[in-house]
Structure 1
Amino acid sequence: MQHLHRPSTVCEMTMQHLYSPFTVCEMTMQHLRRPFTVCSETMQHLHSIVAVCGVTMQHLLDLFTGCKTTIHPLRTLFTGCSVTMQHLQGVLQAFSPQAMEA
């Protein structure tokens, strides 16, 4: 998960795919290039992820808005993965104010 800390200029993810069961995770480079704020439905999915993870909306927005992640690490992170909501929760908690201050 350290890939999320790496610098870059591209961080456009389809929350619809993130919201789908991570056991499949059929995210492609084309999907990664789509802005995750493409529509209200996408933002609704984003909010659902946050609700499930017990993390505030702002935490997740801070994670992706203007984040410095390169396409290569993103592809490595999502291609062929079998991540669960529990794993996603761990990622989001790592970006909580408490974790950042630690």
Structure 2
Amino acid sequence: MIHSTENDLHGDFLNFWDLIRIDPEKWVEEEYGNEGGGFWVVALIGRKVIYYNDIEEGFNISNYTIYGTIDDYVCNQDDLQCAMMNLFGLITFGGRIIGQAGPPVNL
């Protein structure tokens, strides 16, 4: 899934991915992650991670406070490119995921 996504990325999105991606690491998530020994984190920036949720079979963005521990469980079932672009949107569109309800974003 990771290699397939990387092949589809270009320009700013590929540069962004190259900056945030890490070799996949299993991280702890205490609500639902114990069953499979955690979830695979594939990217991080600041206090945000992108991880693969094998229960829901999708990628998600969550916060982390302690390296190695995902703070909150999310089950969006996004593909990696969607999760990466949402994280990019959090940075470039004022802290809101693209398509998320809320006040207008001033660009």
Q: TM-score, normalised by structure 2?
A: 0.28
Higher strand share: 2
Q: Which has the higher helix share?
A: 1
Tell me the TM-score normalised to structure 1 length.
0.28
Q: Which has the larger radius of gyration?
A: 2
